[in-house]
């Protein structure tokens, strides 16, 4: 009988992590390494007039923009963020220079003695400074609105969310002849490598990136480590000594990227039969001081502007506005959590305005196989949402609970969210930007090494990709090794982002393993390299947002039962149920971990995690003020999968990592709305906001 790949195995890094032997960047000792600390902008907006540095003791150094041999810009997309500020300061905490030396206390005292003179300019926190501006249409929205029986319009707002990986950001760098090596906490070794090449103006072979164990990332270690990597590489190049640049928690929360706050205005045309004929949306994301990855985040938001539904006509506008605040960036979901929150609440609110059952209203509009997507692409593969919803309703006893909670003043409520996640890079990104390549090497003892850039940041890819290789080669898992990525030994399989790792990289690894199996000669070494080839049916026009935005979609349903305390307005999540279609699980237990961890972050985004930026400064700067869930905040979670194998993924697998976060916030916000009988428009729904809603809100 053929083995079912979904059956769980003992993860290959379990022992090293449980026993404390796993080495994260801060655990790596390099003899003679100096410490680096960043001197940062004390103002939110203005210009540097002068900087007076105290006399540096022997063995202490300063590194700033003048030391950058190449371009003083962090290679992300538009390269708009400097490695070190030169004259203009755009946010509080913007890096200006590094002080480097052997003693951390002396470094701090030197930083405290720096005198900076600045001129202040008026900071911008509103939407007037537009960084990027997109628009697309489908069908004929003008006609739909003109012919509408009713037009319904609401605005939704979402707040910041901090990734709060438990391991703070950090890298260590050291010189090796005319080369520079960086070891650190990251998701994308080649993003850092390419950024450093630009910063140093050097040859690719002069930069080596090594990834040790990574203590969580959630998108927070997608682009930000490129900034750290460039600063550190410049410092190592100048000083020619090993240097540690590792953040403490407050610095990490204060200056690293977070989820974009959003303002989303939605307008729907509804016909006489209570069908939505058009949705017009206006999505505004706060990008902070630099664009970074924000335009791609915006794309992902805009592409999902009709949620899990097929709407004949669409008019979608989006901007990223730039403000004098900490830059926002990648965070699990990447623009999708904001838009799915807005769409799910909106469709629910339309149904309530029409006086019809919100769930029935949603089911009526669900996307089906063969339908056109919001961007006029095609949902090619079977969509099992009706089955997913049906199953979720059964296991949660949804209908009965809804009825029960309506009677009397229970302050209990049920919420349900329907959502998808586009797997992989948007549009043709895989073929035009990433061009992933994977390498497998078999030695003469028939051990197979997986030599790719995929980073295991906890999501288990070292185990899942090893399983794919072992299964395809039909060899024991113990014969497969997945060393930590080192750019000297691997090929560029692309960044560990966008729910692409299993579907795209795992798919390539599977193909490479199939080739290796055909040519397998025991006792002989062999190398197989496999390059990504885009399926030719994927056609995407980036300028007009027209065509297939993603090769495949994973789907999900979340149902949640909440109670609200009558006196304190505290929300308790009583129980939650999820059903997902992510193609096929490569490991059931790993998927359970993704599902439970993802939904916990998604719920917390909806009601618990609150970050405010006042006058350009982050007010919650540590884990005491920025509250993430503890063991006491989680309830019983039930997760089920419905297999729907995708022909383009290894063993049928699609993306999983981001999907599980996306439905959490709308489900919990809707449940709170139903519990307190007041419309919810903004998240997080904190006890303070519940108090205000109960006082002033309507239903």
Min. distance of Cβ 632 from another protein in angstroms?
5
Is 249 near another protein (CB under 8 A)?
Answer: yes
Distance CA 177, CA 79 (A): 28
Residues 139, 175, 629, 645: which binds another protein (CB under 8 A)?
629
Q: 216 with 458: CB under 8 angstroms? A: yes
Both tokens assigned to 192: 């850092």
Which of 183, 304 has the CB closer to another protein? 183
Residue 58 vs 624, nearer CB to another protein? 624
Q: Which of 205, 248, 474, 488 binds another protein (CB under 8 A)?
A: 248
| 560 belongs to the binding site for another protein (CB under 8 A) | no
642: contact with another protein by CB under 8 A: no
- Give the Cα separation of 341 and 417 in Å (integer): 9
Is residue 26 close enough to count as binding another protein by CB under 8 A? yes
Q: For residue 98, list its beta bridge partners.
A: 38, 63
Phi/psi for 86 (5° steps) reads -95, -60
In angstroms, give the least distance from the CB of 463 to another protein.
11
Q: Which stretch binds another protein (CB under 8 A): 5-13, 143-151, 362-370, 411-419?
A: 5-13
Alpha-helical (H) ranges within 240-335 are 249-255, 294-303
Site string for another protein, 151-190 (x = CB under 8 A): ------------xxxxxx----------------------
- CB crowding 34-61: b at 16 or more within 10 Å, else e: bbbbbbbbebbbbebeeeebeeeeeebb
Q: Which of 3, 4, 16, 514 binds another protein (CB under 8 A)?
A: 16
Residue with Cβ nearer another protein (176 or 478) = 478
Decide if residue 612 touches another protein (CB under 8 A): no
Residue 686 interacting with another protein (CB under 8 A): no
Sign of CA dihedral 160, 165, 169, 173: negative
Nearer to another protein, 186 or 343 (CB): 186
Tell which one of 85, 207, 590, 675 touches another protein (CB under 8 A).
Answer: 590
Q: Is 574 in the site for another protein (CB under 8 A)?
A: no
Single out the residue of 646, 685, 412 nearest to residue 550, CA to CA. 646
Q: Read off the tokens for 365.
A: 């509009």
Q: Which is nearer to another protein, 77 or 627 (CB)?
A: 627
Of the residues 631, 695, 696, 698, which one makes contact with another protein according to CB under 8 A: 631
* 3 state SS of 278: strand
CA quadruple 584, 468, 19, 211: dihedral, nearest 10: -110
CB 698 within 8 Å of CB 679: yes
For residue 21, state whether it binds another protein (rule: CB under 8 A). Answer: yes
The footprint of another protein on residues 503-522 (CB under 8 A) is none
Could you say which of 7, 14, 120, 203 contacts another protein (CB under 8 A)?
14
Q: Taking each helix axis from N to C terminus, what angle separates 687-696 and 664-676, rounded to the nearest 10 degrees?
A: 40
H/E stretch holding 207 reads strand 207-210
Instruction: Find the binder of another protein among 624, 695, 696, 698 (CB under 8 A).
Output: 624
Q: Which stretch binds another protein (CB under 8 A): 385-393, 562-570, 626-634, 666-674?
A: 626-634
One residue of 30, 51, 114, 623 binding another protein per CB under 8 A? 623
For the segment 189-218, give every residue that binds another protein (CB under 8 A): 213-218
Q: Considering only residues 622, 647, 688, 699, which one is a binding residue for another protein as defined by CB under 8 A?
A: 622
Give CA–CA dist 240/321, Å, rounded.
40
Nearest CB to another protein, comparing residues 6 and 45: 6
Residue 501's closest CA among 265, 222, 298? 222
Residue 599 C-beta: closest distance to another protein, Å: 7
Segment interacting with another protein, rule: CB under 8 A, options 318-326, 454-462, 503-511, 543-551: 454-462
Q: Find the shortest distance in angstroms from Cβ 252 to another protein.
A: 9
Contacts of 31 (CB under 8 A, 6+ apart): 242
Residue 357: C-alpha distances to residues 319, 347, 363, 384, 388 (Å)? 33, 11, 10, 21, 19
| Terminal CA-CA length for the chain | 57
Binding site for another protein (CB under 8 A): 8, 10-11, 13-24, 26-27, 29, 163-168, 213-218, 248-249, 457-460, 589-590, 592-593, 596-601, 622-624, 628-632, 634, 636-637
């Amino acid at each position: 009988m053929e083995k079912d790949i979904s059956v769980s195995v003992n993860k290959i890094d379990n022992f090293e992590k449980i026993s404390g032997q796993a080495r994260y960047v801060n655990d790596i000792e390099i003899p003679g390494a100096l410490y680096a600390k960043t001197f940062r902008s004390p103002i939110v907006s203005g210009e540097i007039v002068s900087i007076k540095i105290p006399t540096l003791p022997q063995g202490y150094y300063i590194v700033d923009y003048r030391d950058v041999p190449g371009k003083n810009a962090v290679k992300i997309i538009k390269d708009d963020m400097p490695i070190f500020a030169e004259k203009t300061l755009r946010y509080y905490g913007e890096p200006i220079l590094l002080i480097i030396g052997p003693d951390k206390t002396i470094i701090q005292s030197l930083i405290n003695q720096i005198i900076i003179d600045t001129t202040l300019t008026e900071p911008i926190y509103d939407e007037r400074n537009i960084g990027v501006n997109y628009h697309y249409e489908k069908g004929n929205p003008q006609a739909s609105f003109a012919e509408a029986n009713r037009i319904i319009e609401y605005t939704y707002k979402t707040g910041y969310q901090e990734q709060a990986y438990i391991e703070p950001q950090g890298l260590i760098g050291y010189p090796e002849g005319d080369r520079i090596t960086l070891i650190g906490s990251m998701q994308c070794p080649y993003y850092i490598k390419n950024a450093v090449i630009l910063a140093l103006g050097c040859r690719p072979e002069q930069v080596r990136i090594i990834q040790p164990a990574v203590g969580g990332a959630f998108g927070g270690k997608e682009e930000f480590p490129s900034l750290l990597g460039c600063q550190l590489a410049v410092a190592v190049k100048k000083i020619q000594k090993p240097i540690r640049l590792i953040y403490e928690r407050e610095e990490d929360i204060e200056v690293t990227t977070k989820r974009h706050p959003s303002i989303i205005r939605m307008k729907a045309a509804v016909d006489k039969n209570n069908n939505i004929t058009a949705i017009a949306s206006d999505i505004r994301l706060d990008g902070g001081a630099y664009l970074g990855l924000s335009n791609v985040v915006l794309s992902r938001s805009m592409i999902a502007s009709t949620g899990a539904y097929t709407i004949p006509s669409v008019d979608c506008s989006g901007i990223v506005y730039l403000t004098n605040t900490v830059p926002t960036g990648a965070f699990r979901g990447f623009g999708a959590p904001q838009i799915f929150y807005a769409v799910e609440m909106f469709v629910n609110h339309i149904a309530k305005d029409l006086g019809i059952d919100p769930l029935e209203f949603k089911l009526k509009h669900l996307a089906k196989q063969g339908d056109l997507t919001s961007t006029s692409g095609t949902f090619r593969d079977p969509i099992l949402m009706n089955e997913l919803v049906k199953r979720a309703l059964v296991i949660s006893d949804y209908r009965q609970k809804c009825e029960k909670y309506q009677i009397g003043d229970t302050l209990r409520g049920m919420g349900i969210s329907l959502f998808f996640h586009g797997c992989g890079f948007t549009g043709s990104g895989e073929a035009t930007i990433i061009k992933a390549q994977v390498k497998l090497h078999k030695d003469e003892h028939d051990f197979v090494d997986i030599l790719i850039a995929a980073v295991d940041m906890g999501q288990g890819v070292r185990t899942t990709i090893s399983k794919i290789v072992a299964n395809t080669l039909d060899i024991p898992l113990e014969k497969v090794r997945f060393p930590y990525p080192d750019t000297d030994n691997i090929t560029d399989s692309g960044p560990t982002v966008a729910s692409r790792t299993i579907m795209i990289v795992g798919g390539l690894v599977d193909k490479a393993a199939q080739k290796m199996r055909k040519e397998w000669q025991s006792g002989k070494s062999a190398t197989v390299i496999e390059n990504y080839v885009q399926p030719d049916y994927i056609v995407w026009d980036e300028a007009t947002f027209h065509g297939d935005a993603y090769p495949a979609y994973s789907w999900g349903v979340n149902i949640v039962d909440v109670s609200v305390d009558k006196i304190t307005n505290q929300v308790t999540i009583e129980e939650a149920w999820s059903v997902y279609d992510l193609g096929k699980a490569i490991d059931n237990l790993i998927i359970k971990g993704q599902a439970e961890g993802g939904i916990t972050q998604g719920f917390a985004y909806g009601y618990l995690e609150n970050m405010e930026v006042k006058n350009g400064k982050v007010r919650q700067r540590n884990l005491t003020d920025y509250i993430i869930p503890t063991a006491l905040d989680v309830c019983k979670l039930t997760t089920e999968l419905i297999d729907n194998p995708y022909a383009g993924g290894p063993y049928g697998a699609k993306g999983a990592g981001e999907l599980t976060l996306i439905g959490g916030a709308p489900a919990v916000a809707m449940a709170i709305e139903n519990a307190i009988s007041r419309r919810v428009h903004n998240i997080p729904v904190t006890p303070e906001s519940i108090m205000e809603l109960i006082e002033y809100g309507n239903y």
